[in-house]
Amino acid sequence: MMTTATAKGKTGRKPRGPAMTVNTVTTAAIHSVRGDAASTARRATIWILGIHEVTGNPSMRHALLTCTALLLLCTVSARAETTVEVLDTFPAGDTVRLGPNQSFYLHLRYQSDQPLRIWARPLFQGSPVAAGTNPSRLHPAGSGEVLGWFFLSEQDAQVDEVQITAGDGSPDGTALVANYPVAVIGTRNPVPDTTAPAWLGELRQQELDAQRAAYEEAMNTPPDATSILLFNGFMLVMFACGILGLFGPAWCIWRWQGGWRLAAAVPGAIMVFFVLRLLVDAVRDPTSHNLWPFEVLMVGGLSTVIIAALLVARRLLGVSAA
């Protein structure tokens, strides 16, 4: 559009009406569509302009632009706008003080034609505040009431605005849908708790029920072949790292002499200390090492890498196996 208008000012030629109209409608439609549709529209427009540059056929360009504009306008008309509004907060008020381990809750109501996730992010003077915010489960299409919250990571932090975003979590599929101005001030001193409103307990229970339902669904869903393959592969690699990390140094200590034996003893000592600590901690508290396979993978992998490096060094230096 701007190129055509500039050409008119320089050459005095009047731009063709259909081209200006189609270009204007197409550009407006592109700016009205978000997400994958917008990306596709931009690629289609660039492709159309490329055809015009190669063929130099204005009629073809106008026809293709018209089709693109009609398609995008249909997309815009079919897409309902997602809205989120703040119904209430807890603690209530325009200025709120948060003590240690206290959270600021927002009672939200949404309207959307497709499933979405909703996040509340605190800001101060336009910059994000160090804070922990609510994770968001996938909410069904339609309307509903949900809970947003955050807590301040720094006790002296301040908030003057809460940005509420909604979408699928991707950069193109997530948009800012609301701004809520509020002054939240962190303090090092405990703030007396006030009576929580009824909606807070109801929405908390709603989130717990949804999490429980999602967990039960995941437990009742049989794993697919890919998941089974990945799990078995991980366990195989974990056991291999544990065995090699433990018995590799022992074999090297038995076969090598001098400084090489001392070098092999380093990963061996690491593995022995790790195994003893794992056993002692498990006796004291069986839940202390719930992620023990990952610990075995890391420590055993480190020991295996050290032994492999020593083997390569001996080969390069021509040291005999005896």
Q: Is the pLDDT of residue 27 over 50?
A: no
Model pLDDT, residue 123:
96
Confidence of residue 190 (pLDDT cuts 50, 70, 90): confident
Model pLDDT, residue 36:
47
Residue 296 amino acid letter: V
* Buried b or exposed e, range 196-228, using 16+ CB within 10 angstroms: ebebbeebeeeeeeeeeeeeeeeeeeeeeeeee
Which is higher by pLDDT, 285 or 122? 122
Does the domain at 83-220 match CATH 2.60.40? Answer given as: yes
Domain-by-domain residue ranges, the chain?
2-78, 83-220, 225-317
Specify the length of the chain in residues. Answer: 322
Q: Is the pLDDT of residue 8 over 90?
A: no
Greatest mean pLDDT range, 32-36, 177-181, 191-195: 177-181
Which is higher by pLDDT, 106 or 48? 106
For residue 69, what are its two tokens? 């504009």
Model pLDDT, residue 71:
56
Residue 109 burial (CB count, 10 A): 14
Percentage of residues in the chain having pLDDT higher than 90: 55
Model pLDDT, residue 127:
94
The sign of the dihedral angle between the CA atoms of 203, 205, 209, 214 is positive
Residue 322 burial (CB count, 10 A): 6
Q: Is the pLDDT of residue 313 over 70?
A: yes
**Which alpha helices (DSSP H) does the chain contain, by range?**
2-11, 17-32, 36-55, 58-78, 198-220, 225-255, 258-284, 292-317
* pLDDT tens profile 232-265: 999 999 999 999 999 999 999 999 988 999 999 9
Confidence of residue 79 (pLDDT cuts 50, 70, 90): very low
Q: Is the pLDDT of residue 152 over 70?
A: yes
Q: Is the pLDDT of residue 6 over 50?
A: no
Confidence of residue 171 (pLDDT cuts 50, 70, 90): confident
Residue 63 burial (CB count, 10 A): 14
Which of 88-96's residues contact partners 24+ apart within 8 Å by CB, and which partners? Answer: 88/197, 88/199, 89/180, 89/182, 90/196, 90/197, 90/200, 91/194, 94/182, 94/183, 95/182, 95/183, 95/185, 96/182, 96/183, 96/184, 96/185
Model pLDDT, residue 81:
78
